[in-house]
Structure 1
Amino acid sequence: MSDDNRTLPYPDPDAQHPTLVIPGRTDGTDAVAAPRRRRRRWPWVLLIMVVVLALLAVAAELLTRAILPGVVRSIVIEQLDLPADQQLDVEADGILLPQLIGGRLDALHLSTDSVTLEGITGAADVTASGVPLRGGDLAGAEGTIRIDESQFTALIGRTDLPVDTVTLDAPNATVAGSVTVLGVAIPVSLTVTPGVAEGDLELTPVGLSVGGLKVDADQVGSSLGSLGADLTRTQRICIADQLPAGLTLTGLEIDGSEAVIDVDVDGGIATDPTLLEKGVCPAD
C-alpha cells in the first residue's frame, strides 16, 4: 500500500468531544433527583380543628336552648302549683354556654297568655335577671300582668264604691252601681283614673253621674253626706292579700279594655316559700 493513501487514525474522542456533565448526575449512572420540600400542613390542621370546635359549640348551644325552656317550665309550674298543661313560654338572653359554665343566666323571660295566681287570672310577662342555676336568690325580677274588666272588677270590689260593673276605656275606668237614698235605689256611675300608690291600687274620681245625669262632685258631697264623700274621694285599695307576698305593685294603667299592672318581684321568691303565699293587708 502506498504512502499516498494512508489511513488516518480516528481522533481521540475525549479530546475533541468532551463529555458534557448533566446537572444532577455525578457519573454515568442515573442520578436520584433531589427530594421536593414538603409543604407545612399544620395551619390546615389547626383550621380544621377550629371549625370542628365551632360546630360543636353551635350544636351544644342549640341543644341547650332546646332543653333549658322545658327544665325552667317544669320548675316554675311546680313552685307555683300550676296545672301540668299550663302554657308557659321560656326564653333566655345571650349565648348560653358561658352562662351555664358560670352558673348564672343573665336574663330569663317567662310569658303566658293566661295564668291564675291566687284567684286572679290574666296574661303575664316576667323578666328575671341573674338567675342562679345551682340555687340561690334572683338578682331581681319585674313584669306585667294584663287583666280584663271582670278581673279588674274583682280587684276593686272591696271599695266603698257601688260596684256592679266596671268598664275600661283608656285611660279611665267607669264604675257603675247604685246607692240607696231614703229607701230608693239611685243608679250611680263614677269615672276614675286608676294608679298605684305605695303598693296599693288608687282610684282618682274624674267624673260622676247620678240617675244618668252628670253632676258636680261638690254637689253630691253636700247633698248625700258621708255617702257622697265616699263617692267623690280618692280610693286606696290594698290587694296584697290577693297576690303572692313576693309581688309588689309598682304601676297600673288602662290599655284599651285591659288593665296593665306593673309588678316588682322579690329576688328571694326563688328560695323563700313564704313569698309565694298570699300577702297581708294592714288592718283597717
Structure 2
Amino acid sequence: MSDDHPTLPYPEASTEHPTLVIPGGQEQGRARRRRRWPWVVAVIVVLIAVLVVAAELVARAVLPGVVRGLVIEQLDLPQDQQLEVEASGILLPQLIGGRLDELHLTTDAITFGGITGAADVTAVGVPLRGGDLTDAHGTVRIDQAQFTTLLSASDLPINEIAFDEPNVTASGSFDVFGMPVPVALTVTPGADAGDVLLTPVELTLAGVTLDAAGIAERFGALGSQITQPQRICIADQLPAGLTVADLSIDGTDAVIDVDVNGAIATDEALQQNGACP
C-alpha cells in the first residue's frame, strides 16, 4: 500500500471491541445439571423399590410351597396334605440371612398316631440351610370321637365321651355278678409331664351321683383310689419331639397345647412316635 493510504492497525480488543459474554451462561448450565440430578436419583430409587417389592412378592409366592414340601417330607405326611404356610416380617433380609424369624403353619386336619385334628403351629428361628429350630409350639383341636380314641389306653370303662366345658364325662359299664352296671365318671382334663391327667369330679353309679367326697366316704379305700387323678401316657401316639403341655375343653373340642423340640427338624428319632413306660 502507498503512504497515501496507510494500513490502520486493528483496535485493541480490550478497549474498543470488548468480547461479549453471555450473562450467567456457566451458572445456568450448572443449575440445569443440578436440577436433573435429583430426578436421576429419584428414578433409580423407584426402580430399586420396584425390584425389591417384586422380589418380595416372588418370595412370598414361592416360599409357602417350598416349606410345605419340606414339612410333608420330614413328617412323612400324605402328598395331598392340606397345609397353609405364612411367614412373618419382610422376607428378603431373612432369606439372605438364611433364617426365617417366624413361620406359621395351619391345617384343618392332620393325623398323628391315629388321632386326627386341626393344628396350628408357630415356629421361631427356622433355618433355611438345615439345622434345628430355635423354638416351636402349637395347638391341636380334636373332637369327642378323637378324644375317646386318645383315652383308649386308660383302664376306664369307656364306651362314650361327652364334653361339658371344662369337664369330660366318660360313660361305660362293668360287670357285677354277670350283670352290667352303668357307670359315668366326670373328670377335669389336664396335662402333666406330657401325660394326660384326668382329675375326677363326680361318679354316677347305677343312677346315683356322688362327688369326690361322697365317693371316698361310700367306698373307703377303693373310693379314695377312684378319686385320685388318673394319668394316661399318650407318648406312643405322638412324635417323640412333641410334648403335651396342657389339655382343656373348649366347647365341642379338646384343645391340646404342644411344645415342640426344635431338633425335630433334623433328628429322625424325634419324628417317630415316642414310647410309654
* Range into which the TM-score falls when normalised by the shorter chain: 0.7 to 0.9
State the alpha-carbon separation in 2 of the partners of residues 216 and 57 from structure 1.
Answer: 66
- Equivalent runs, 1:87-126 vs 2, <5 Å: 87-126=82-121
With normalisation by structure 1, the TM-score equals 0.84
Match of 1:201 in 2: 196
Match status 1:142 vs 2:155? no
Residues 165-189 of structure 1, C-alpha deviation per residue, up to 9 Å, x if partnerless?
Answer: 0011211101000122222211111
Match status 1:49 vs 2:26? no
Runs of 4 or more above 6 Å deviation: none
RMSD of aligned alpha carbons: 2.1
Compute the displacement of 1:231 (Å).
3.5
Deviation larger for 183-192 or 121-130: 183-192
Contact 2:201 2:211 in 1 (8 A): no
Q: Which amino acid aligns with 2:242?
A: L
Contact 1:161 1:231 in 2 (8 A): no
With normalisation by structure 2, the TM-score equals 0.86
Q: Which amino acid aligns with 2:195?
A: D
The structure having more radius of gyration, on CA atoms, is 1
Contact 2:119 2:140 in 1 (8 A): yes
State the alpha-carbon separation in 1 of the partners of residues 70 and 166 from structure 2.
Answer: 37
Match of 2:178 in 1: 183
Picking from 60, 68, 72, the partner of 2:67 is 72
Distance change in 2, residues 1:132/1:160 (3 Å):
same
State the alpha-carbon separation in 1 of the partners of residues 49 and 254 from structure 2.
Answer: 47
Match of 1:262 in 2: 257
Compute the displacement of 1:281 (Å).
1.0
Q: Which amino acid aligns with 1:252?
A: L
Deviation larger for 208-217 or 238-247: 208-217
Contact 1:87 1:112 in 2 (8 A): yes
Match status 1:215 vs 2:210? yes
Match of 2:5 in 1: none
Match of 1:160 in 2: 155
Contact 1:240 1:281 in 2 (8 A): yes
Residues 99-153 of structure 1, C-alpha deviation per residue, up to 9 Å, x if partnerless?
Answer: 0111100000010000111211000000000000111110010000000001111
Contact 1:94 1:106 in 2 (8 A): yes
Q: Kindly tell me the number of residue pairs found equivalent between the two proteins.
A: 256
Distance change in 2, residues 1:221/1:32 (3 Å):
closer
Structure 1: tracts of 5 or more residues without a match = 1-24
Match of 2:270 in 1: 275
Structure 2: tracts of 5 or more residues without a match = 1-15
State the alpha-carbon separation in 2 of the partners of residues 250 and 152 from structure 1.
Answer: 16
Matched residue of 1:201: which SS? Answer: strand
Distance change in 2, residues 1:259/1:167 (3 Å):
same
Compute the displacement of 1:96 (Å).
0.3
State the alpha-carbon separation in 2 of the partners of residues 72 and 226 from structure 1.
Answer: 55
State the alpha-carbon separation in 2 of the partners of residues 26 and 190 from structure 1.
Answer: 120
State the alpha-carbon separation in 2 of the partners of residues 210 and 118 from structure 1.
Answer: 33
Compute the displacement of 1:26 (Å).
4.9
